[in-house]
Amino acid sequence: MGGTPLKQIKIGIFGLGTVGGGVVEQLRENRELLKARTGTDLVILKAVVANPSKPRPFDLGPIEVSGDPNFILDDPEIDVVIELMGGVTLAKEILLRSFVSGKTVITANKALLAECAEEVFEAAYEHHALLGFEAAVAGAIPVIRVIKEGLAGDRITEVSGIINGTANYILTSMSKKGEDFQKALGKAQEKGYAEADPTFDVEGVDTAHKLLVLMCIAFGGIFDFKELYTEGITKIEPVDIEIAAGFGYVIKLLGKAKEVGGKVEGRVHPTLVPEDQMLASVDGAFNAVKLSGNFSGPIVSYGRGAGARPTASAVVADLVSLVRQRESETSPVPPLSLMSEKLKHRKLMPMAEVLSEYYLRFSVEDKVGVLAELTRVLGSHNISIASMIQRSRSEEGGPVFVVFFTHEALERDVVEALKTLDQLPFIAQPTRMIRVDPS
Amino acid sequence: MGGTPLKQIKIGIFGLGTVGGGVVEQLRENRELLKARTGTDLVILKAVVANPSKPRPFDLGPIEVSGDPNFILDDPEIDVVIELMGGVTLAKEILLRSFVSGKTVITANKALLAECAEEVFEAAYEHHALLGFEAAVAGAIPVIRVIKEGLAGDRITEVSGIINGTANYILTSMSKKGEDFQKALGKAQEKGYAEADPTFDVEGVDTAHKLLVLMCIAFGGIFDFKELYTEGITKIEPVDIEIAAGFGYVIKLLGKAKEVGGKVEGRVHPTLVPEDQMLASVDGAFNAVKLSGNFSGPIVSYGRGAGARPTASAVVADLVSLVRQRESETSPVPPLSLMSEKLKHRKLMPMAEVLSEYYLRFSVEDKVGVLAELTRVLGSHNISIASMIQRSRSEEGGPVFVVFFTHEALERDVVEALKTLDQLPFIAQPTRMIRVDPS
């Protein structure tokens, strides 16, 4: 290279698992390119991990490893902290202390950002922190950048997407191979697409964490994670996937938020998506996010939502972006895109007020008058029917399925109607309700 | 609002056509939001247009209109210049003079950026100009931001996409309705999707302009537009679309560039894309861009590629981004992402050296020995056949179609083989060659 040596940016990293290893490798493999793009040399000097003596499947090079967070946090030489440990309590302490000491912070921790949104973002603004969290949502897809900068001039009206690869992998297997949930989950675990405890993924919690982070940026405010309606995929049965397919729909675990007339609606649940929509063709462990702006129209971004290298790509993109800002001693892009005095707390619309179309699968005794009673009760709750099919089960004389697709109805009315219907004597099993998203 | 008034950012705009009108409306409609995101008040004070007395279909508000470029360029009060006139000569003068006088510049002019890449980008670097050109490529899709910032840590290996809505609209009509090129073009013109002179769109020139701009950023250098292989869609016939569909392909006008082993290959031509690929499902006037990084893997972005509001969305996003940078008196993101001393001129790989799979449709007399001769000549040029079909034309005794799908072959070999074959006596019409992209 020759000439004056470049300024070194000193990095401390928390966590050297899958993603941490990817970051170490990316900074090594792309080092010259990163020098050309930032005018600095980005070097990880220290790592803090739970078990410092554990062997790692990658070369640590000059990185010193410790089990004590203060090894990084108390070192005034460290410019940038990368937090990839997960968990909430210690991670929050790391972020807050780093803000106070003027360290630039990059995190992939969606649980922390969603569950402690108020505390973390308010502290970031208070200390004028440089904070990047692109890796927290949708792996390599630069969705946070697209919201904050690509749609910087738009009023965002919708954020939705498939942002949990594990759930999508399971639903794709169920859909393509006719497997039931337990079998598809087992296979996903064998292949490393699902963890031993898959609760966060299959119950929608991880999707909800990520959606909440996107909502804070998209709609300019802090939302309360506990207000976000969250429903997982564990109750989806092959028969629902099959019936949905017959009507031209694919079942996806969707996170979706909209702002209409100043009211924000946000929810995570299995959703029937028309098969000709972009989101319907997102298979396996891939993620996709749809954003709509009042001028841009819809923008869909698709890519790998997890894994060592794709997630590292998002971490290092933040690193480049924040080092460019740090070296110019400014923060031209505020953490949530808004200037701090405009930051506000926002309430979510209650789920009961949401309007949606619905797929309702009733298990009923096969006898005269049942259909009339079902439609009467639905009608009395302002629910009108768009289409219907009736299917016998395989066993003779057993209950039959009656499936209704409804026109748009109020969630409250549907919940009330099902509460009434499920107590009727001819209902053989609790009714399966899945929301339909025709847009 | 109350409190101290916000600093006003004074904007001069060149061109008040479709996109210019969109920008005027967006700054008005989203004014309060833009104040919250930039901490400034973005106001268009002056416009320069070819015909100042022409009535406009939108409210000009306080904008003063003139036909003289100096009305804006000589005004030291103007902070930001937005160039939406198109054309090369005057637009270049506007950009270069604005750089010199320290004005921030936003342009949607892909012809200028591609054909004068060296002059414009070198001047921008020389004057440390704040230059935005997101609106030059793929309308509302923030593809330039995704390359410069979303993939800031990645070595980019591929940029490809459907980036001309007119050509895609025509190909989609041909594909869905079996129309021939002329009819589909006529309909596109009626509906306003194609201009009276559609040359740039249907001959691939506009796609090539946009691809070249993306290549400069993705591969870190200045390329010569004249080196970029460009082929349009005017020779695509319904029969090719039909045969391709039979093999599971859709024909799209693709711009594609790759860097492999330090060599850059770039080309624009009709391409057979497998129908299960994301790009294959991009229909009508929509655009989509696929990017691959060495860590991120593939990222596909999809959205509206043209139109007043989507293109305005990209212009205003640049405006927010550059005003944030301007107000912090820095340029954290250089125009082509690289630091200036790393900027270099790069050569494109000659088309003859490109490897591709090919669709070859021969029109031949229906007689014995023809097939043997075709395969012999192809084989002698190192071209091996992956699959083949033969189809009679409707007229009895007329020429028949023989279609080969080849394995990967060198473009030079294919061109040479076709040169030889097309002179053989049994060939009834020049052979139709379309490249196939299985990835």
- Rounded to whole angstroms, how far apart are CA atoms B146 and B291? 9
- Rounded to whole angstroms, how far apart are CA atoms B208 and B217? 15
- State whether B330 and A331 contact (CB < 8 Å): no
How close are the terminal C-alpha atoms of chain B, in Å? 54
- State whether A33 and B321 contact (CB < 8 Å): no
DSSP helix/strand/coil, A339:
coil
Q: Which two tokens stand for residue A64?
A: 């010193």
| The predicted structure's pLDDT at residue A53 | 93
Torsion of Cα atoms, A94 then A99 then A101 then A105, to 10°: 70
- State whether A301 and B302 contact (CB < 8 Å): yes
pLDDT of residue A197 exceeding 60:
yes
CATH, domain range A352-436: 3.30.70.260
Q: To the nearest whole number, what is the mean pLDDT of chain B?
A: 92
The lowest-confidence range among A283-287, A400-404, B196-200, B327-331 is B327-331
| The predicted structure's pLDDT at residue A338 | 66
> Which amino acid, residue A18?
T
Using CA coordinates, name the residue in chain A closest to B1.
A342
- Min Cα separation B24/chain A (Å): 12
- Rounded to whole angstroms, how far apart are CA atoms B298 and B146? 12
Q: Specify the CATH number for A7-142+309-342; select among 1.10.10.10, 3.40.50.720, 3.30.930.10, 3.90.1170.50.
A: 3.40.50.720
- State whether A150 and B26 contact (CB < 8 Å): no
pLDDT of residue A236 exceeding 50:
yes
> Which amino acid, residue B81?
V
Q: Specify the CATH number for B354-436; select among 3.30.70.260, 3.30.200.20, 3.50.30.50, 3.60.20.10.
A: 3.30.70.260
- Rounded to whole angstroms, how far apart are CA atoms A224 and B135? 36
pLDDT of residue A2 exceeding 50:
no
Using CA coordinates, name the residue in chain B closest to A279.
B278
- Rounded to whole angstroms, how far apart are CA atoms B83 and B20? 9
- Rounded to whole angstroms, how far apart are CA atoms B197 and B200? 8
- Min Cα separation A162/chain B (Å): 14
Q: Which residue has the tokens 């289409």?
A: A387
Active site amino acids of B: 210
Of the pLDDT bands very low, low, confident and very high (cuts 50, 70, 90), residue A334 is: low
> Quick one: average pLDDT of B185-203?
94
A213 close to A133: Cβ distance less than 8 angstroms: yes
Q: Which residue has the tokens 């939502």?
A: A305
> Best of A29, A44, A149 to disrupt the B interface by mutation (most B CBs within 10 Å)?
A149
- Rounded to whole angstroms, how far apart are CA atoms B169 and B252? 10
Cβ neighbours of residue B51 under 8 Å, at least 6 residues apart?
B67
> B21: which strand partners?
none
Pairing relation of β-strands A7-14 and A40-48?
Answer: parallel
Torsion of Cα atoms, B210 then B216 then B219 then B221, to 10°: 160
Q: To the nearest whole number, what is the mean pLDDT of chain A?
A: 92
Active site amino acids of A: 210
DSSP states along A35-86? HHHHSEEEEEEEEE-S-TTS--SS--TT-EEES-THHHHT-TT--EEEE---
Dihedral angle sign, alpha carbons of residues B52, B108, A37, A101: positive
Residue B278 touches chain A, beta carbons under 8 Å: yes
Selected residues 207-236 of chain B with any CB under 8 Å from a CB in chain A:
220
B132 close to B105: Cβ distance less than 8 angstroms: yes
Q: Which residues of B touch A155 (CB under 8 A)?
A: 29-30, 33
Tens of pLDDT, residue by residue over B278-290, are: 899 999 989 999 9
What does the DSSP 8-state code read for residue A5?
Answer: P
The DSSP element (H or E) to which B98 belongs, if any, is helix B89-100
pLDDT of residue A187 exceeding 90:
yes
- Rounded to whole angstroms, how far apart are CA atoms B356 and B436? 7
> Which amino acid, residue B40?
T
Selected residues 299-318 of chain A with any CB under 8 Å from a CB in chain B:
299-304, 309-310, 312-317
Q: What is the ipTM of this complex?
A: 0.88
Tens of pLDDT, residue by residue over A364-384, are: 998 888 999 999 999 999 999
CATH, domain range A143-304: 3.30.360.10
Q: Which residues of A touch B142 (CB under 8 A)?
A: 145-146, 149-151, 299
Q: Which residue has the tokens 């790391």?
A: A94
Residue A33 touches chain B, beta carbons under 8 Å: yes
- Rounded to whole angstroms, how far apart are CA atoms A366 and A67? 65
The lowest-confidence range among A42-46, A261-265, B202-206 is A261-265
- State whether A302 and B152 contact (CB < 8 Å): no
- Min Cα separation A420/chain B (Å): 43
A35 close to A41: Cβ distance less than 8 angstroms: yes
| The predicted structure's pLDDT at residue B347 | 81
- Rounded to whole angstroms, how far apart are CA atoms B97 and B99? 5
pLDDT of residue A343 exceeding 80:
no
Backbone phi, then psi, for B401, in 5-degree steps? -95, 135
User: Residue B57, class by beta-carbon neighbours within 10 Å (0-12 exposed, 13-18 middle, 19+ buried)?
Assistant: exposed
The lowest-confidence range among A33-37, B300-304, B337-341 is B337-341
DSSP helix/strand/coil, A431:
strand
Which class in CATH covers the domain with range B143-305? Answer: alpha beta
Cβ neighbours of residue B312 under 8 Å, at least 6 residues apart?
A153, A295, B19, B22, B23, B25, B26, B135
DSSP helix/strand/coil, B408:
coil
Angle at B91 between CA B85 and CA B95, to 5 degrees: 120
Of the pLDDT bands very low, low, confident and very high (cuts 50, 70, 90), residue B19 is: very high
- Min Cα separation A380/chain B (Å): 41
Tens of pLDDT, residue by residue over B55-78, are: 999 999 999 999 999 999 999 999
pLDDT of residue A331 exceeding 60:
no
User: pTM (2 decimals)?
Assistant: 0.90
B256 close to B294: Cβ distance less than 8 angstroms: no
- Dmax over Cα atoms in chain A, in whole Å? 90
Of the pLDDT bands very low, low, confident and very high (cuts 50, 70, 90), residue B390 is: confident
Tens of pLDDT, residue by residue over B397-425, are: 778 899 999 999 999 999 999 999 999 99
Among the partner-chain residues B36, B278, B321, the one whose CB lies closest to the CB of A220 is: B36
> B47: which strand partners?
B13, B65
> Quick one: average pLDDT of A278-290?
93
Of the pLDDT bands very low, low, confident and very high (cuts 50, 70, 90), residue B334 is: low
| The predicted structure's pLDDT at residue B2 | 47
Residue B158 touches chain A, beta carbons under 8 Å: no
Domain B7-140+309-335 has CATH 3.30.70.250: no
DSSP states along A111-146? HHHHHTHHHHHHHHHHTT--EE-GGGSSTT--HHHI
Using CA coordinates, name the residue in chain A closest to B33.
A155
| The predicted structure's pLDDT at residue A393 | 60
> A289: which strand partners?
A161, A301
Q: Which residues of B touch A281 (CB under 8 A)?
A: 278, 281
Q: Which two tokens stand for residue B323?
A: 């005003």
- Min Cα separation A426/chain B (Å): 44
Of the pLDDT bands very low, low, confident and very high (cuts 50, 70, 90), residue B331 is: low
> Quick one: average pLDDT of B114-130?
91
Picking from B287, B126, B137, B108, the residue whose alpha carbon sits closest to that of residue B212 is B137
Domain ranges of chain A: 7-142+309-342, 143-304, 352-436
Of the pLDDT bands very low, low, confident and very high (cuts 50, 70, 90), residue B197 is: very high
DSSP states along A94-119? HHHHHHHTT-EEEE--HHHHHHTHHH
**Whole-number percent of chain B with pLDDT over 90:** 77
What does the DSSP 8-state code read for residue A301?
Answer: E
- Rounded to whole angstroms, how far apart are CA atoms B107 and B96? 12
Selected residues 243-272 of chain B with any CB under 8 Å from a CB in chain A:
none
Residue A333 vs residues A162, B38, B432: alpha-carbon distances, Å: 26, 9, 51
> A272: which strand partners?
A251, A436
